[in-house]
Amino acid sequence: MADPEFVAPRRAGILDVAARAGVSRQTVTRAMNDMPGINAATKQRVLEAARELHYRPSRFGRGLVTKVAPTLGLIVVDLTNSFWAELASRVLDAATRRGWTVLIAESAHGGVAAASSLVGQVDAVFGHVELDDSHIEEVFGSMPLVLFDRSPESQSRATIILDFGSAIQAAIEHLLVRGRQHIAMLDWSLSSRRSWRAEQFAAEMTSRGRDPRVLLTHTDADPDLDAARGAAEEALHLWPDTDAIVCFNDVVAIGVIKQLTESGVDVPDQIAVVGMDGLALGLVVTPELTTLQLDFQAVADLAVDLVIQIAEGQAPVRGPEVHRSVTPELTVRRST
Amino acid sequence: MADPEFVAPRRAGILDVAARAGVSRQTVTRAMNDMPGINAATKQRVLEAARELHYRPSRFGRGLVTKVAPTLGLIVVDLTNSFWAELASRVLDAATRRGWTVLIAESAHGGVAAASSLVGQVDAVFGHVELDDSHIEEVFGSMPLVLFDRSPESQSRATIILDFGSAIQAAIEHLLVRGRQHIAMLDWSLSSRRSWRAEQFAAEMTSRGRDPRVLLTHTDADPDLDAARGAAEEALHLWPDTDAIVCFNDVVAIGVIKQLTESGVDVPDQIAVVGMDGLALGLVVTPELTTLQLDFQAVADLAVDLVIQIAEGQAPVRGPEVHRSVTPELTVRRST
DNA sequence: TTGTAAGCGTTATCAC
DNA sequence: GTGATAACGCTTACAA
């Protein structure tokens, strides 16, 4: 048990290196940081001692005394989903340009634990948080926080709002003008409630005196291709005269196009398909996807600016001043 | 100039809060961290003082005295590219499961600067580094580092090698068996040299006594759909009798399929198409893509395990012991 | 060229 | 319930 080989597994510190090299710790610093004013031979000796001891400077000790880039925590659901990947890419870019670094957590894998592990590692947080307001306060406390795409009801904390309302109106108008008679929406939700997007769709349809057909699929994960194909089948069974389908997002839309095409239904001749989000994915499929294009760059810039302002105390943590709205626009391509 | 309002913009520290609340700094700690043994009224007073001063504990000071999760730096080229997004997702997952957090940098946006900014913020690095060996030493110094997908020549630092050799052989075999006569490869490279993948293709074709047709496109960014379409056109112009195309990766393959389909060439009847990497994207297109499937999960697990071992001094920083090879496998779908 | 001293902001220990 | 003191590991003065 008292094996002399098993001494303190504590990581070597600057003092250990100094002792081993027979110099002061200041000399070690000079050697490690390529600073001037050190004898080449001494430097070599120190570097060797450091290597032998597996010494690496502690980033905390160092961060305490030098100015280092602040860190933004970004919470996405799943990088495998193009939506989150595109958002993350833009946020990374926006943050980097402002001299911030980015720590990413995926809630799909880590869940709430992933989100809370960010706290204490970062200086501010932006992203998608599934918790309700009281839990948010509990987890994030005084952490500067900007929420992404929360329903406009909970407007306490700073939020980036995706306002699809006008784009949805434009899409419906576009479909009706081109003679589509029976428009259905394939909705998706992690809760059992309709999404905000579907609410907007239904409201607009109703206000035009049309039947607001909404098929809600409720799963515990983001929609994938196969699930979307099933939903498409179900919708056509429910409403066989459907000649246009508006989808919760682009991934669903692509699944729908695939299902229809393979069933021998022509898109767009027999059924038009509209997606939402404007992922690059929409250009991959045939026919290319008509979609409600979200400006990811704008979202990222807005969010990063906002969260930095809050972190620097130049903007309040909550209140209407810290709510930003982004408005997607209808982009017409071949699927309608 | 001497505006009295512009006092030290220095962030408030725990001592400032303590002074303002009229308590010791230890009491502030107790209040901030929800620790027991503090009067409820005192706690409120402290919390209020903290809020007024915009006080937030320094993560460095805290990291110095508490055990916090170590951080892995991940360098990807571009999260907008599904390849890197899928890899990042797996690495995030693998690292999180091992109690590490992940800091991501995109070299497409930040360049080398992005990579070097990681140093000093993290405890180890994994990812794609474009630099040559000597520059790597310069930038990363003693940082534990695992490189991703470097050509097997530079085997100094720890590396995850993607060995497409056998899968490429299998793909060629598969195409020939099905009667394809003239197989061409669309290669891609950021340097002016053929990729390692193309080398393998050419070698295998030559060893079978076939003409090794390789069209190299050289750009300064990852291939995108449009560029791939152009390359496809060029290849058919060069070798009109081509009846099978092997692509540098799935993105190129998808661009090729799109180009062929819109030109009225049937895939796979007239021309078969094979991709590499095995992205989820391959299931989106019609026909679904035959590809050389890389196991991203395995790559991530291998890489994270390896880099952690190195960081903990249980594996050497360089040498053949720290080279891991991953072998993709041919997945046949409808495009061949 | 090298060493000494001070301080960065926090939490843990132990006394009150 | 509260406060003093001692670390934590490092860098930046400044002195030798």
pLDDT digits (tens, 9 = 90+) for B136-184: 888 888 899 999 998 766 568 999 999 999 999 999 999 999 999 999 9
Nucleotides of C under 7 A from a protein CB: 1-5, 7-13
SS (H, E, C) chain B: CCCCCCCCCCCCCHHHHHHHHCCCHHHHHHHHCCCCCCCHHHHHHHHHHHHHCCCCCCHHHHHHHCCCCCEEEEEECCCCCHHHHHHHHHHHHHHHHCCCEEEEEEHHHHHHHHHHHHCCCCCEEEECCCCCHHHHHHHHCCCCEEEECCCCCCCCEEEEEECCHHHHHHHHHHHHHCCCCCEEEEEEECCCCCCHHHHHHHHHHHHCCCCCEEEEEECCCCCCHHHHHHHHHHHHHHCCCCCEEEECCHHHHHHHHHHHHHCCCCCCCCCEEEEEECCHHHHCCCCCCEEEECCHHHHHHHHHHHHHHHHCCCCCCECHHHEEEECCEEECCCCC
Chain-chain contact of A122 with B69 (C-beta, under 8 angstroms): no
Q: What is the mean pLDDT of chain B?
A: 92
Cα–Cα distance between B19 and B24 in angstroms, integer? 7
pLDDT digits (tens, 9 = 90+) for A155-192: 689 999 999 999 999 999 999 999 999 999 999 998 88
Q: Give the pLDDT band of residue B116 (cuts 50, 70, 90).
A: confident
- Chain A residues lying within 8 Å of B297, measured CB to CB: none
- The shortest CB-CB distance from A78 to any of B89, B254, B285 is to B89
Query: Are the CB atoms for A109 and B92 separated by under 8 Å?
Result: yes
pLDDT digits (tens, 9 = 90+) for A74-123: 999 999 999 999 999 999 999 999 999 999 999 988 778 878 788 888 99
Quick check: do B14-55 and B165-294 share a fold? no
Q: Give the pLDDT band of residue A5 (cuts 50, 70, 90).
A: very low
pLDDT at A10 over 80: no
DSSP state of A199: H
Class of the CATH-defined domain B69-162+296-327:
alpha beta
Round and report the angstrom distance from CA (A38) to C1' (C3).
12
pTM for the whole structure: 0.93
A20 vs B5, residue with greater confidence: A20
Token pair, residue A233, equals 């089948």
pLDDT digits (tens, 9 = 90+) for B120-140: 889 999 999 988 888 888 888
CATH of A165-294, one of 3.40.50.2300, 3.30.70.3280, 3.50.50.60, 3.40.50.300: 3.40.50.2300
- The shortest CB-CB distance from A69 to any of B109, B117, B258 is to B117
Mean pLDDT over residues B244-249, rounded?
98
Chain-chain contact of A79 with B60 (C-beta, under 8 angstroms): no
Rounded to a whole number of angstroms, the distance between the first and last alpha carbons of chain B is 74
- The shortest CB-CB distance from B104 to any of A92, A123, A284 is to A92
Q: List all residues 6 or more positions away from B304 whose beta carbon is below 8 Å from its beta carbon.
A: B72, B91, B94, B95, B98, B100, B126
- Chain A residues lying within 8 Å of B259, measured CB to CB: none
Nearest nucleotide relative to B62: CA against C1': C10
Q: What is the mean pLDDT of chain A?
A: 92
Domain boundaries defined on chain A: 14-55, 69-162+296-327, 165-294
For chain A, percent of residues with pLDDT exceeding 70:
96
Chain-chain contact of B286 with A121 (C-beta, under 8 angstroms): no
CATH topology of domain B14-55: 434 Repressor (Amino-terminal Domain) (1.10.260)
Rounded to a whole number of angstroms, the distance between the first and last alpha carbons of chain A is 75
- The shortest CB-CB distance from A85 to any of B71, B79, B105 is to B79
pLDDT of residue A1: 35
Q: What residue in A sits closest to B118 (Cα-Cα)?
A: A101
Q: Give the pLDDT band of residue B3 (cuts 50, 70, 90).
A: very low
Round and report the angstrom distance from CA (A39) to C1' (C4).
19
pLDDT digits (tens, 9 = 90+) for A280-320: 999 999 999 999 999 999 999 999 999 999 998 889 988 88
Token pair, residue B310, equals 């190195």
Chain-chain contact of A61 with B61 (C-beta, under 8 angstroms): no
Query: Are the CB atoms for B271 and B245 separated by under 8 Å?
Result: yes
Chain-chain contact of A106 with B96 (C-beta, under 8 angstroms): yes
Nearest nucleotide relative to A16: CA against C1': D9
Chain-chain contact of B104 with A104 (C-beta, under 8 angstroms): yes
pLDDT at B7 over 50: no
